[in-house]
Structure 1
């Protein structure tokens, strides 16, 4: 099921808005949705002729009805305007600049009907879909144009501590929409079609242990793992299990998954995913260290473990160097902290990247950010963010990025 997009240039009305990630819908009684986000992004990439700069404004407006006998509806539109700067937005063909993946345009972001009864919910239509920690399926809300899904989602709570979450997806509206252009290729379409099935089952075993199992069948017909790869090479089935919990100041997560091919993928896949993570909270500061491995594949082409629908920006470094897992796989050893500071939150992360197969090193990355509400204006918040990647391998390039953002949410 693919809901037609409103695909046009950004409305001039957006230029009247002064400024801010995810829209916050009205309360259960229903009401308007308003989210405004201005962002300045600067990117420098080794081997690319010029530095990129982008001033963009995202305006999100909508309305959610009050519930009536369990039924409710929501409609929401996004408009992204380019206010200045030069950058490769993946649609304008400006390859002399680094990519800043925020094309201008206007579209329907969500249009859905929902029925809720107790802890059970059915949602049909175009909708936001963030499963678990978004490692496999998410909205990529960091980008100005959010990724949303056309389909049906059923969420059930059949017993105490047990949840079942199933979704059928017929179409995906990526962050690179709403337009395609001459610069579009097999790896970056604005829309993806194909019947996909997503199943998660969770069980809260004890206060210190939650177990979730999942099986995702992504029948992605019109997208490829690379611009020159055959269509369908991101179609896959992934099955895995995750353990997580905590005790006192400590928290942990461990996960394993296996990925294989699914029609219409012409390539055979057989790769693994591993995660081990440990956290500790000290005087409000949250410390975390982990190791994540996305396995490489064997055979011609890139057959590594891929997560094409994930919210990728929150994994493997904010510079987004590894939007696609390299053919040799990717191991990420990381450590970081989020510290309360001056009424806001300061974050710092360090990543060490290496191939899962073949040895060597890809490089290292340091990420820093500070976010806080802006005083005297409810719903207004500011963010400053930095990412610096240094390569040890010819397959990647040095990258530096800076963001300054102001967001208002009503």
Structure 2
């Protein structure tokens, strides 16, 4: 069996082997930490259409080991198993239950992360299967809400040449999506288990002060076997997204301002040209946090869906928990939202409201209410419980949707 080593992985090994003899190789194991994470979830989906209501019970078991460091060198290995409990009365996208609403948590086991890392005075480098979360995960994230987390095969380097400046570059040649670990006859072009291609992520962030952080980025996504609709051509989600983000907080006030432009990239058969805007203002008073925002993903009148898309984002965190707009409509979308969170009975309660409208034209897509309550369970350290609800009321698009989640998670 041949083992292919990436150039960065070879460089990491070279750095470690050339170090002096002042540290003990046994530190890798003696200072290591086992990983154990168990997450049970019940998810109910009720949609105003011909599909049967979904009722899914799943448990995600994660085990692994994070090593200690030896001259800056460390490693991590982590494996996940997602298993159904009870009847398969839901469409996991792989189980053939197409008469039910979708709960995208297929059964299966795979390595979630397997990486080699090298930390040095001015930054770090990582090679292998890894978690990548950039900024607020609007464009690149791990989709940790789903039972099978999205991780990336490739190399990532971070450089911090001066105080406040962080430069990040990543090359990705495979993406392990939430729909994995396996494909079968029930998948389609929008939900492969693995996305092949060649992608480059560039991100530069400078912290001027707590009141101002500026981030510039360019994400070049070559997604060869992915499409924006089941009948759309492969590569129709390959794109170049370049933008600028401003964030900060001062005296209880916080803000985020962002602009990005998206064009086609690699072998995308569509000519893309759309824009993204975000304006968000938050205020914290004692333990109550309030936020209002306006987010726009631009549409395009050309043939096919040429709207602004975010195929690698942690989408569940944006545009409502009902996940109605995982693919941006061709006319784009404008999301006006309000949120509030506060402590309650030892936990935290959060509420959100969204109003969705087309970016092109006057269509009203509907509105949505989200409510959640999360609380640590005092009987066992590391155990938390979550109850969460989303109600989407459709107007001129999609169907009315209600979703309910009950979850318990233990992390060691």
- Could you say which TM-score interval applies, normalised by the shorter chain? over 0.9
C-alpha displacement at 1:338, in angstroms? 1.2
- Retained in 1: the 8 A contact 2:42–2:407? yes
Structure 1: any 5+ residue segments left out of the alignment? Answer: 4-25
Q: 2:68 aligns with which of 57, 63, 66?
A: 66
Q: 1:197 aligns with which of 196, 200, 215?
A: 200
SS of the aligned residue for 1:362 comes to strand
Matched, 1:310 2:323: no
1:104 counterpart residue number: 107
- Retained in 1: the 8 A contact 2:29–2:67? no
C-alpha displacement at 1:27, in angstroms? 12
- Retained in 2: the 8 A contact 1:2–1:170? no
Matched, 1:372 2:372: no
Matched, 1:294 2:324: no
1:170 counterpart residue number: 173
2:141 counterpart residue number: 138
2-side partners of 1:128 and 1:29: how far apart?
Answer: 22
SS of the aligned residue for 1:313 comes to helix
1-side partners of 2:388 and 2:339: how far apart?
Answer: 15
1:220 counterpart residue number: 223
Q: Provide the aligned length of Structure 1 versus Structure 2.
A: 387
TM, length-normalised to structure 2: 0.92
TM, length-normalised to structure 1: 0.92
Q: 2:398 aligns with which of 392, 396, 399?
A: 396
2:153 counterpart residue number: 150
2:213 counterpart residue number: 210
1:7 counterpart residue number: none
Matched, 1:328 2:334: no
What is the CA deviation profile of residues 238-278 of structure 1, one whole-angstrom value per residue up to 9, with x for unaligned ones? 00000010110100000000000012101100000000000
Matched, 1:184 2:163: no
2:17 counterpart residue number: none
- Retained in 2: the 8 A contact 1:36–1:57? yes
SS of the aligned residue for 2:364 comes to coil
Matched, 1:251 2:254: yes
The verdict on how the C-alpha distance between 1:111 and 1:368 changes in structure 2, with shifts beyond 3 A counting, is same
2-side partners of 1:2 and 1:78: how far apart?
Answer: 24
2:285 counterpart residue number: 282
2-side partners of 1:128 and 1:2: how far apart?
Answer: 21
Greater C-alpha radius of gyration: 2
2-side partners of 1:140 and 1:237: how far apart?
Answer: 21
- Retained in 1: the 8 A contact 2:353–2:368? yes
Bigger drift between 186-195 and 88-97 goes to 88-97
1:57 counterpart residue number: 59
2-side partners of 1:288 and 1:2: how far apart?
Answer: 48
Matched, 1:125 2:133: no
The verdict on how the C-alpha distance between 1:371 and 1:265 changes in structure 2, with shifts beyond 3 A counting, is same
| Structure 1 stretches of at least 4 aligned residues deviating more than 2 Å after TM superposition | 26-29
2:409 counterpart residue number: 407
Structure 2: any 5+ residue segments left out of the alignment? Answer: 6-27
The verdict on how the C-alpha distance between 1:45 and 1:213 changes in structure 2, with shifts beyond 3 A counting, is same
Higher relative contact order (CA 8 A, sep 6+): 1
The verdict on how the C-alpha distance between 1:346 and 1:27 changes in structure 2, with shifts beyond 3 A counting, is farther
C-alpha displacement at 1:2, in angstroms? 11
The verdict on how the C-alpha distance between 1:42 and 1:2 changes in structure 2, with shifts beyond 3 A counting, is farther
2-side partners of 1:2 and 1:337: how far apart?
Answer: 49
SS of the aligned residue for 2:316 comes to helix
What is the CA deviation profile of residues 285-305 of structure 1, one whole-angstrom value per residue up to 9, with x for unaligned ones? 110000000000231110000
- Retained in 1: the 8 A contact 2:205–2:214? yes
Matched, 1:359 2:359: no
C-alpha displacement at 1:359, in angstroms? 1.0
1-side partners of 2:122 and 2:93: how far apart?
Answer: 41
2-side partners of 1:48 and 1:250: how far apart?
Answer: 46
